[in-house]
A = this chain, B = another copy of it.
């Protein structure tokens, strides 16, 4: 027989979420030991364990073997929160994701030029250097590229924007995959323009540089699609 939709482990999971909120536990903080939770939540040890596994699958906690259970980084933000895994047409997904990035990333760059702290500006420039170094060495720079875009989102001063960029981050490796190495040189140059505009606190230049960065992406996707259909 199938189990009920909301069983005991789900209820205990909800109580653990409430405990994280009530005690203002932040990402990386350690949760109380299992024995303490069993006592406080009035649940059996195996129910608490099952609840923790549910919370881990939702990226709310991280269970470290032999060490304990911790609040996950960006708690509650799932790995693939929009279910892109379940979209079959990856070429169309790449195009539609880029269309969404056109809506938001130029404005995010503008906000970053207005709100970034000096430390954030330094960090953005470091990531720009890092992805340039990797790209010139012919190495995989997708992680540095993603970190660069995320750092700009973090600097926007808006709480929702970095979480949203986390959602769209799947798109960067996708572009590199779709478009091959032709994109590398333009990526380096337009990243540099974006970083410089933010560093010089010029919102309009930051907006425009990010817009151009996306235009190069779009042109490359269009070329790559044409090549595949020829």
Contact = CB atoms under 8 A, between A and B. Distances in A.
A171 to B, nearest CB: 9
B65 A160 contact: no
Interface in A1-60: 1-5, 7, 9-10, 13, 17, 20-21, 24, 49, 53-54, 56-60
B3 A49 contact: yes
Contact of A2 (B5, B10, B21, B69): B69
Interface in A67-95: 67-69, 74-78, 80-89, 92-93
A160 B78 contact: no
Nearest to A34: B2
Contacts of A178: none
A75 B80 CA distance: 11
Contacts of A92: 159
Interface of A: 1-5, 7, 9-10, 13, 17, 20-21, 24, 49, 53-54, 56-60, 62-69, 74-78, 80-89, 92-93, 96-97, 99-100, 103-104, 107, 158-161, 163-164, 166-167
